[in-house]
């Protein structure tokens, strides 16, 4: 049987259960971490990741690909309904996005935003370029569309499918600093992205951060708190906000 039946059932049960993640806040925590998931939604892994986040009361940020949003709009709606932030990861994850013409790149961004709005009734305001590759003109173009460009500070390379314990070990690089962690619930446009090791690692990643006093926040929570950004300038390597002077 195709996975779509199970993903629809999972989303229905989650909505029926009704206990959305309350999430943490930026009210003077020692450190904060933003868990981010790229390339979804995926019928196989996004529902299971959402289940784990919900169980732990963690809010995360999902950078979605427009073509995948069009396939699984109900998963994007579930992400929004459960308090997560949804960002833009372009329509088709083009390899050379930073080199594309403005017309082409704007189309990739706006088409994805339209799909997200149709699915969940919200607009995207964060852009993560495919592969994290960016150019100065891409950042300026994104700004002209009202976007902040966000990459990451911790990359465990889970898209290469290392073992779960390797992913966990690499995420430990945060090592006492606030962090933006790159993970994946999909892999470009592949129907089976093979992210089972990310799924296996996620609970221990959450437990490890919690045990050392971290709070879990979304990227929007970080960006909307100017005092926080000024106090955690190491994160500004991953957050491009030209109008705010964060370069």
Enzyme catalytic residues: 38, 184
Q: Is residue 130 within 8 Å of 95, Cβ to Cβ?
A: yes
Contacting residues for 102 by C-beta, under 8 A, at least 6 apart:
137, 141
* H-type alpha helices, 121-211: 136-144, 164-171, 196-211
Q: Is residue 35 within 8 Å of 179, Cβ to Cβ?
A: no
- By DSSP bridging, strand 61-64 and strand 85-88 are parallel
The reply to whether omega before 41 is within 30° of 0 (cis) is yes
User: What separation, in Å, do the N-terminal and C-terminal C-alpha atoms of the chain show?
Assistant: 49
Compute CA distances 82 → 1, 79, 114, whole Å.
27, 5, 20
Question: Which class for 244: exposed (0-12), middle (13-18), buried (19 or more C-beta within 10 A)?
Answer: middle
Counts of helices then strands in the chain (DSSP H, E): 10, 8
d(CA 110, CA 87) in angstroms, rounded, equals 12
């Amino acid at each position: 049987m195709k996975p779509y039946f199970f993903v629809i059932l999972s989303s229905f049960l989650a909505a029926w259960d009704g206990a959305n993640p309350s999430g943490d806040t930026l009210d003077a925590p020692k450190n904060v971490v933003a868990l981010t998931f790229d390339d979804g939604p995926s019928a196989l892994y996004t529902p299971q990741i959402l289940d784990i986040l919900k169980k732990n009361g963690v809010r995360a940020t999902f950078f979605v690909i427009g073509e995948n949003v069009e396939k699984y709009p109900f998963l994007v709606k579930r992400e929004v309904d459960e308090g997560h932030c949804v960002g833009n990861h372009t329509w088709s994850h083009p390899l050379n996005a930073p080199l594309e013409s403005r017309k082409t790149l704007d189309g990739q961004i706006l088409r994805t935003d339209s799909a997200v709005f149709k699915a969940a009734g919200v607009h995207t305001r964060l852009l993560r370029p495919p592969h994290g590759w960016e150019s100065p003109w891409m950042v300026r173009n994104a700004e002209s569309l009202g976007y902040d460009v966000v990459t990451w500070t911790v990359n465990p390379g889970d898209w290469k499918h290392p073992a779960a314990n390797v992913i966990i070990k690499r995420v430990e690089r945060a090592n006492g600093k606030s962090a933006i962690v790159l993970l994946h619930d999909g892999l470009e446009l592949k129907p089976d992205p093979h992210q089972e090791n990310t799924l296996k690692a996620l609970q221990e990643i959450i437990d490890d951060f919690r045990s050392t006093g971290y709070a879990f926040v979304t990227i929007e929570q970080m960006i909307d708190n100017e005092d926080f950004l000024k106090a955690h300038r190491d994160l500004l390597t991953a957050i491009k906000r030209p109008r705010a002077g964060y370069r």
